[in-house]
C-alpha cells in the first residue's frame, strides 16, 4: 500500500487501526531491499529492517481478516450445499497426493497462494466419496454453474472473485468465479488429476477424477478408497465447519503433511510429536520454507501443538543457533502434535478470526 494512501479502517472489525500500532503506518507494497538510498538511511537504526518486515506480516494478517469477513456469506452458502450431501464421518486422501519419494507430489504442483486448485480437488474427493461406495469409480455429475440455490462447482468453491462491470466485456462476481473454477479444472487436468470428458462450456461440462498420484500422460481412474485402506483421513467437519475455505493452501498443505505423519507414526506422535525436516520436508512433501512457517498460524487456530523445546525461542527459532552450528552441534528438529479431530468440530470462522487477531500488535 503506498505511503500516501491511508490504511483501511479496521476498527469496525475490532482490530487496531494503523495509527494505533507501535510502529506507525504500515507500508506493505515495497520490500526493504527495494527502498532508495535515502529511504534506507532513514531505516539505518538497529532493528528498523526487522520492524519493517514485522509490520508487513501484521498487515497481511489484517488484510486476511478483512477478506474472510467479506467471504462469510459465500462460505455459509457453500457449507449449506455440502451438508446436503450424504453423511459420511471420514473422507480419505491417499498418500500419493501428499507424499512422493521422487519429489514434487501433486498437491505441491497444483498449489498456488491465491488459487483454488487445492480446494477444488479436495471438494472433488469429498463429493465423490459422499456419492459412491469403496471400490467404485467416480465421475462428477455436478454442473459447472447453476443458480445460487442449486449445487454446482461454482457454488461449492469459495474465492474472493469480484465483478468487473467497467471492462469491455462485463463480468459478474459469479461469472468471474466460474472462470476461476474452470481454470482450476484445466490445471488439474494438466497435472493428471482429472479428465474433462466433454466440452468446457458450462452447459456441457463434465469431469472425472483420476488417481491421486497425478501421473501425467495416463488415465488411471480414481477408485473410491475402501474404509480399511491406509491413507490420510479428514473428518467431515473439515468441510462442514468451513476449514477447507478459511485455511490458505499453504496451511492446508502443512496441516495435511503433519496429519499424514501422525498417522504413519502414531506411537512417536503420541510420545514426543512428529517433525517434518530434511529430505522428508524438502523432497517427499515438497514443503518450502513459506509453507513450513504456516505452522505458526495453525497453532494459533488450535489445529496443531508446537512442542516445547528449551533450545528454541517462542517463534521457533533456535537459541544461539549460529554458535551451535559453528561448534558442529546438530540442531534438533521442530516437533509437532496434531490436535484431536474435535479441534475441527468448532466453526472455522470464529477460530481463524480469533487466531489472526492474536497475531496482531
> In terms of pLDDT, which residue wins out, 163 or 239?
239
Q: What is the pLDDT of residue 12?
A: 42
150 vs 39, residue with greater confidence: 150
Above 90 in pLDDT, residue 356? yes
pLDDT at 176: 86
The SS3 assignment for 164 reads strand
Which residues are within 8 A (CB) of 120 and not within 5 positions of it... i.e. 6 or more apart?
Answer: 153, 157, 181, 184, 185, 188
Q: Check pLDDT > 70 for residue 7.
A: no
What average pLDDT does range 71-88 have in this prediction?
91
Highest mean pLDDT among 13-27, 133-147, 275-289, 327-341: 275-289
Q: Which residue has the higher pLDDT, 359 or 325?
A: 359
234 φ/ψ sector (left φ>0, alpha ψ -120 to 50, else beta): beta
Q: Tens digits of per-residue pLDDT, 28-64?
A: 344 445 555 555 555 554 455 555 455 677 888 999 9
pLDDT band for 16, please (50, 70, 90 cuts). very low
**Residue appearing with cell numbers 507424499:** 99
**DSSP codes joined into one string, 127-148:** HHHHHS-TT-B-B----SS--T
Cell reading at 31: 520490500
1: part of which helix (H) or strand (E)? none
Instruction: Out of 135-144, 164-173, 309-318, pick the least confident.
Output: 309-318
Q: Does position 17 have pLDDT exceeding 60, yes or no?
A: no
Beta bridge partners of 144: none
Each residue's pLDDT tens digit, 263-278: 999 999 999 999 888 8
How far is 117 from 147, CA to CA, in rounded Å? 22
Percent of the chain with pLDDT over 70: 76
Own/partner long-range contacts of 291-297 (Cβ < 8 Å, ≥24 apart): 291/250, 291/253, 291/254, 292/254, 294/248, 294/250, 294/251, 294/253, 294/254, 295/254, 295/258, 295/334, 295/336, 296/359, 297/251, 297/355, 297/356, 297/359
Specify the pairing of strand 232-235 against strand 304-306. Answer: unpaired
Q: Would you state the pLDDT for residue 351?
A: 95
Of 359, 361, 235, the residue nearest 297 (C-alpha): 359
What is the pLDDT of the chain when averaged over all its residues? 81
How many CB atoms lie under 10 A from the CB of residue 213? 17
- CA 353 – CA 246 distance, rounded (Å): 9
Q: Region 139-155: what's the mean pLDDT?
A: 85
For range 306-335, the mean pLDDT: 69
> Does the pLDDT at position 145 exceed 60?
yes
Round to the nearest angstrom and report the end-to-end CA distance of the chain: 19
pLDDT the model gives residue 228: 80
Burial of 102 (0-12, 13-18, 19+ CB in 10 A): exposed
**Mean local confidence (pLDDT), 170-192:** 88
Stretch 222-243: mean pLDDT: 91
How many Å separate Cα 255 from the centre of its chain? 9
Q: Is pLDDT at 203 greater than 80 in this prediction?
A: no
128 in Cβ contact with 140 (< 8 Å): yes
Query: Given the C-alpha cell 500500532, which residue does it identify?
Result: 21
Q: How confident is the model at residue 218 (pLDDT cuts 50, 70, 90)?
A: confident
Amino acid at each position: 500500500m503506498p505511503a500516501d494512501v491511508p490504511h483501511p479502517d479496521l476498527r469496525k472489525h475490532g482490530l487496531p487501526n494503523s495509527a494505533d500500532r507501535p510502529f506507525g503506518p504500515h507500508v506493505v507494497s515495497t520490500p526493504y531491499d527495494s527502498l532508495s538510498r535515502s529511504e534506507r538511511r532513514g531505516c539505518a537504526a538497529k532493528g528498523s529492517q526487522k520492524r519493517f518486515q514485522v509490520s508487513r506480516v501484521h498487515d497481511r494478517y489484517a488484510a486476511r481478516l478483512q477478506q474472510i469477513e467479506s467471504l462469510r456469506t459465500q462460505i455459509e452458502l457453500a457449507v449449506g450445499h455440502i451438508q446436503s450431501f450424504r453423511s459420511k464421518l471420514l473422507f480419505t486422501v491417499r498418500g500419493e497426493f501428499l507424499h512422493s519419494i521422487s519429489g514434487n507430489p501433486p498437491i505441491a504442483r497444483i498449489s498456488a497462494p491465491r488459487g483454488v486448485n487445492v480446494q477444488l480437488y479436495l471438494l472433488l474427493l469429498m463429493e465423490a466419496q459422499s456419492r459412491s461406495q469403496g471400490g467404485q469409480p467416480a465421475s462428477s455429475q455436478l454442473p459447472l454453474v447453476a443458480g445460487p440455490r442449486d449445487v454446482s462447482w461454482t457454488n461449492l468453491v469459495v474465492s474472493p472473485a469480484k465483478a468487473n462491470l467497467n471492462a469491455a466485456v462485463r463480468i459478474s462476481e459469479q461469472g468471474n468465479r466460474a472462470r476461476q473454477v474452470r481454470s482450476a479444472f484445466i490445471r488439474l487436468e494438466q497435472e493428471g488429476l482429472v479428465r474433462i470428458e466433454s466440452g468446457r462450456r458450462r452447459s456441457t461440462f463434465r469431469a472425472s477424477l483420476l488417481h491421486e498420484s497425478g501421473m501425467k500422460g495416463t488415465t488411471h481412474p480414481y477408485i473410491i478408497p475402501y474404509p480399511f485402506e491406509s491413507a490420510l483421513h479428514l473428518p467431515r467437519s473439515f468441510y462442514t465447519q468451513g476449514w477447507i475455505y478459511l485455511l490458505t493452501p499453504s496451511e492446508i498443505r502443512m496441516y495435511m503433511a503433519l496429519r499424514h505423519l501422525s498417522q504413519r507414526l502414531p506411537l512417536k506422535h503420541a510420545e514426543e510429536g512428529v517433525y517434518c525436516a530434511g529430505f522428508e520436508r524438502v523432497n517427499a512433501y515438497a514443503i518450502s520454507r513459506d509453507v513450513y512457517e504456516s505452522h505458526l498460524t495453525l497453532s494459533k487456530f488450535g489445529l496443531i501443538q508446537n512442542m516445547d523445546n528449551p533450545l528454541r525461542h517462542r517463534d521457533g527459532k533456535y537459541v544461539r543457533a549460529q554458535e551451535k552450528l559453528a561448534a558442529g552441534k546438530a540442531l534438533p528438529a521442530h516437533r509437532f502434535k496434531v490436535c484431536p479431530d474435535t479441534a475441527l468440530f468448532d466453526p472455522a470462522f470464529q477460530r481463524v478470526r480469533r487466531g489472526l487477531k492474536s497475531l496482531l500488535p
